[in-house]
Structure 1
Amino acid sequence: MSLANFTSFIREANFNWTDLLTGLTIGEFTFTSYLDYRQYNVLNKKNPPESLKGAIDDETFEKSQLYGREKLKFASFNKVFGLIQSLATIKYNLYAKFWNFSANLLAKSRFLPSSWNGIITHSVYFFAVYTLFGTLISLPFSYYNTFKIEGKFGFNKHTLKSWSLDKVKEIFISLVIGLPIVAIFFKIVDYYGESFPLYGGAVTIIIQLVLQTIVPNFITPLFFKYSKVEEGELRTKLENLASKIGFPLNNLYVIDGSSKSSHSNAFFSGLPWSKQIVLFDTLINHSTPDEITAVLAHELGHWKMNHIAKALAFNSVQLVFLFYLSAKFLYNDSLYREFGFSSVQPPIVGFFLFSYIFEPINCALTFGDRIFSRHNEYEADKFANDHGYKDSLIDALIKLDIQNLITIDADWLYSSYHHSHPILPERLSALGYLPKQILGKDK
């Protein structure tokens, strides 16, 4: 069946959208649950992979396995709740109810000019209401993950006050940034109609580029305290590395990640001609200068080999493809009528409904995304290796996995779908690792 014939077929008035969306939702749940089942069996193993027996002791491996099981069980519970929520949304036309509720709010907003009472403003109100609702019902899950699971394994450093404050900030920021984006995007959809994919894709890409600059410079500092890396061995090594490969380093910062979690991280951000490197204090506290430099050599390898630009191009193609497919559904009368929209066809709701239809394609694309991402990770590791950081990178990778209790073994199918990075044995094998010591205890 050609795409044109398929489009004509789904426009038929008697097409059963409810059964289709229900079936696709259950199908996606079944598939990902099967992957979780496969991974849970791996997480019940008692001994680490042979290639890591000289690097990770049994006690550390057992603890990482337990942490992995706890996280996976919680994710599965979350998934069941999400399934119930999705099925209820489909069966009881909850999108129409949210649309009508937001219409009442809009009608009471007498401070708005009369020219602002159209479908674009209504879509903004709908997005705000739906976002707030989704955030509120997710709070108990976030609380449990932070204070029960992360707390149980010694990672959580939040107090109830700091956690609550961060949640308020997250809601505020998501609305301040999200609402204008919704208005701009659906203005484009409204103006160009079924021809919107190329224009909508271009604007979305521009927004992504702007956010890549805004988030680390203006949003992240709202949650973490920035300070400059002090003069000394570490700063000198990082500056020498940046100079050696031509990285346009403007500054080096450390943030107080330990105020919220004991997990470690590092990243770089900024404009093409002026960038900054940001280290979590937890990384500095538990790693040597050579290990940190090796980690940054890996990160800067992504920059040197244009992985970010390639990822943007890769994702842009997917985005335009997504918009192109969605355009075949956004103007389908039968789709809207079946879910409670008899007199209006808001594209924002069409996108939400289309997300159910797109799920099988998204599952397939996810495998491609993971292959692309893992290839880049191997290349970045090789970049660090080629610049003389092999041993330090190996030590850093082992230490980071131990300290963060990252699962070091995985079912191949689960990993192919979920892991954007190769697991530790795969990365070490690519680096030519030979076990030489036990690093299970933090020294």
Structure 2
Amino acid sequence: MDPSHASGETIAPLQGTSADSATAAVPYKELVLAFSMGVYVLEQYLNIRQHRKLHAVHPPAALSGTVSEEDFCNAQAYGRDKSYFQFVLDAWSQLQTVLTLTLDLLPLLWHTVGALMLQYAGLDAEYERTHSVLFVIALSVISSILSIPFSLYRTFVIEERHGFNKQTIGLFFVDFVKMQVLSAVITAPLIAGVLTIIHWAGESFYYYVWAFMVCFQLVMVTIYPTVIQPLFNKVEPLAPGSLREKIEALAARIHFPLTKLYVIDGSRRSSHSNAYFYGFFKNKRIVLFDTLMEHSSEEEVCAILGHELGHWKLNHTLKGLGVAQVHMFGLFYLFSHCYRDSTLYQSFGFVDGTMPVLIGFLLFSYIFSPVESVLSFLMNIMSRKHEFEADAYAKKLGYAESLRSGLIKLHTKNLGHMNPDSWYSTYHFSHPPLVERLEALGKTE
């Protein structure tokens, strides 16, 4: 028996469709490069607008008397450091994209992985699933290694300079190794499962792949807090006391099915603050960062949780999940109509006639990027609308002043944007600027 058949690995090669002749003249790679450069230029223009705003020395009128000039200047200095860094990071990212596409590095890596498979394991081109898994892992590792200098600078220079970093070099690299191993463990079965479904289901694979991905996401949401998060942070129940009683009373007041209340040691790595909830149906859990409890009063913590629970009460989480699923289904549906187009592969350097499904999806994501940019912008608009609604919900619970002071403290302690450029924030921010949120909280019903 052929060993490839015995392993169940054999995948029938895909053939080009009749659409090839109609699309033969489409310069896919050139169009992707042109769009990529256009987005880069647009974003650098917005970055320049924002960078200019970061040189202001006095807070805007809406924050006058609310935020001290010292706190404002500290936030501006942090913003400038991040802005300078972002200019370099964006240039490096754009250079990587241009070099990857113009030098045909993707087909080079694909064929290198294939050659190593054949040389060391005797696995030929029929083992597409194994080839695809190893290719993604190799691509991820290379990308992660190239990002290490930038991550080190961000953590141990910028974050350290402004008092946020709590990591050691050793912990940084332990986290790096954990992330690489975890990524490989999660990615391998995911890719193998998707490829198996696509080749089994044929042209209608998008139904089945979408269902598979929904199930995969639900599993990940379920295991992340209990299996993955503890690999990086210590999570403990919130100790009995006044704060716990207030949070439980708040949950009972709005009929939030709270079952567990935790504290996470976010201060182990950073002094940034946060809080969130998770869980399905009648099994909800709230997680507080220890840094949030350190910097905020109990009423402010409850106000911030009132905002988060507003997302639950107003079904923002379900709405976002629904939009995400429609987006994912549409993505797979459109991909099903072009993944057999041989000219797509040839345009990006795969000229030997091979058309791996994984590579097809990667190339499809390149040509779909203009649509993704528009969708991302629209998602930010929806997210900002939801944030205003969640603030309004917390206000109705009687937390207007506590939320106001809590937001100011969060932005002050996190050195968040206090004077953003309107164009920059509209394009990038999923949350409204502090000034706009305070103005909305101050309005009378």
Normalising by structure 2, report the TM-score.
0.91
In the TM superposition, what is the alpha-carbon distance from 1:433 to its structure 2 partner?
6.7
| Contact 2:418 2:435 (8 Å CA) reproduced | yes
> Which residue number in structure 1 is paired with residue 268 of structure 2?
259
| Contact 2:107 2:349 (8 Å CA) reproduced | yes
> Which residue number in structure 1 is paired with residue 411 of structure 2?
401
In the TM superposition, what is the alpha-carbon distance from 1:10 to its structure 2 partner?
7.9
Instruction: Write the distance in 2 (CA, Å) between the matches of 1:18 and 1:185.
Output: 26
> Which residue number in structure 2 is paired with residue 371 of structure 1?
381
Instruction: Write the distance in 2 (CA, Å) between the matches of 1:197 and 1:140.
Output: 39
> Which residues in structure 2 correspond to 1:234-253 (within 5 Å)?
234-253=243-262
**Which 5+ residue runs of structure 1 have no aligned equivalent?**
1-6, 435-443
> Which residues in structure 2 correspond to 1:414-429 (within 5 Å)?
414-429=424-439
In the TM superposition, what is the alpha-carbon distance from 1:413 to its structure 2 partner?
2.0
In the TM superposition, what is the alpha-carbon distance from 1:205 to its structure 2 partner?
2.1
In the TM superposition, what is the alpha-carbon distance from 1:194 to its structure 2 partner?
3.7
In the TM superposition, what is the alpha-carbon distance from 1:336 to its structure 2 partner?
1.0
CA offsets, 1:23-60, max 9 Å, x none? 12111211221221221122222221111111111111
> Which residue number in structure 2 is paired with residue 216 of structure 1?
225
Partner letter of residue 302 of structure 1?
A: H
Closer, same or farther in 2 for the Cα pair 1:213/1:116, shift >3 Å? farther
> Which residue number in structure 2 is paired with residue 168 of structure 1?
177
Partner SS for 1:252 = strand
In the TM superposition, what is the alpha-carbon distance from 1:244 to its structure 2 partner?
1.1
Closer, same or farther in 2 for the Cα pair 1:235/1:27, shift >3 Å? same
Instruction: Write the distance in 1 (CA, Å) between the matches of 2:21 and 2:378.
Output: 28
Task: Out of 98-107 and 76-85, give the one that drifted further.
Answer: 98-107
In the TM superposition, what is the alpha-carbon distance from 1:66 to its structure 2 partner?
1.5
Partner letter of residue 365 of structure 1?
A: L
Closer, same or farther in 2 for the Cα pair 1:109/1:237, shift >3 Å? farther
| Residue from 32, 38, 50 that aligns with 1:21 | 32
| Contact 1:268 1:277 (8 Å CA) reproduced | yes
Instruction: Write the distance in 2 (CA, Å) between the matches of 1:12 and 1:102.
Output: 29
**Which 5+ residue runs of structure 2 have no aligned equivalent?**
1-17
| Contact 1:28 1:359 (8 Å CA) reproduced | no
Partner SS for 1:431 = helix
| Residue from 301, 326, 342 that aligns with 1:333 | 342
Instruction: Write the distance in 2 (CA, Å) between the matches of 1:45 and 1:195.
Output: 56
> Which residue number in structure 2 is paired with residue 348 of structure 1?
358
CA offsets, 1:217-252, max 9 Å, x none? 211111111121111110000111111111111111
Instruction: Write the distance in 2 (CA, Å) between the matches of 1:333 and 1:280.
Output: 50
> Which residue number in structure 1 is paired with residue 93 of structure 2?
82
Closer, same or farther in 2 for the Cα pair 1:173/1:10, shift >3 Å? farther
Task: Out of 232-241 and 331-340, give the one that drifted further.
Answer: 331-340
> Which residue number in structure 1 is paired with residue 4 of structure 2?
none
**Aligned pairs, how many?**
426
| Contact 1:11 1:332 (8 Å CA) reproduced | no
Partner SS for 1:105 = helix
Structure 1 runs (4+) deviating above 4 angstroms are 7-11, 114-117
2:114 matched to 1:103?
yes
Partner letter of residue 399 of structure 1?
A: K
Closer, same or farther in 2 for the Cα pair 1:37/1:191, shift >3 Å? farther
> Which residue number in structure 2 is paired with residue 68 of structure 1?
79
> Which residues in structure 2 correspond to 1:75-224 (within 5 Å)?
75-108=86-119, 110=121, 118-224=127-233
In the TM superposition, what is the alpha-carbon distance from 1:354 to its structure 2 partner?
2.0
Instruction: Write the distance in 2 (CA, Å) between the matches of 1:399 and 1:210.
Output: 35
2:66 matched to 1:34?
no
> Which residue number in structure 1 is paired with residue 295 of structure 2?
286
| Contact 2:272 2:291 (8 Å CA) reproduced | yes
Partner letter of residue 173 of structure 1?
A: L
In the TM superposition, what is the alpha-carbon distance from 1:314 to its structure 2 partner?
0.8
CA offsets, 1:155-194, max 9 Å, x none? 0000001111111111111111111111112222223344
CA offsets, 1:355-402, max 9 Å, x none? 221222111112210111111111111111111111111110000000
| Contact 2:342 2:353 (8 Å CA) reproduced | no
Normalising by structure 1, report the TM-score.
0.92
Instruction: Write the distance in 2 (CA, Å) between the matches of 1:137 and 1:248.
Output: 44
CA offsets, 1:130-174, max 9 Å, x none? 111111111111111100110110100000011111111111111
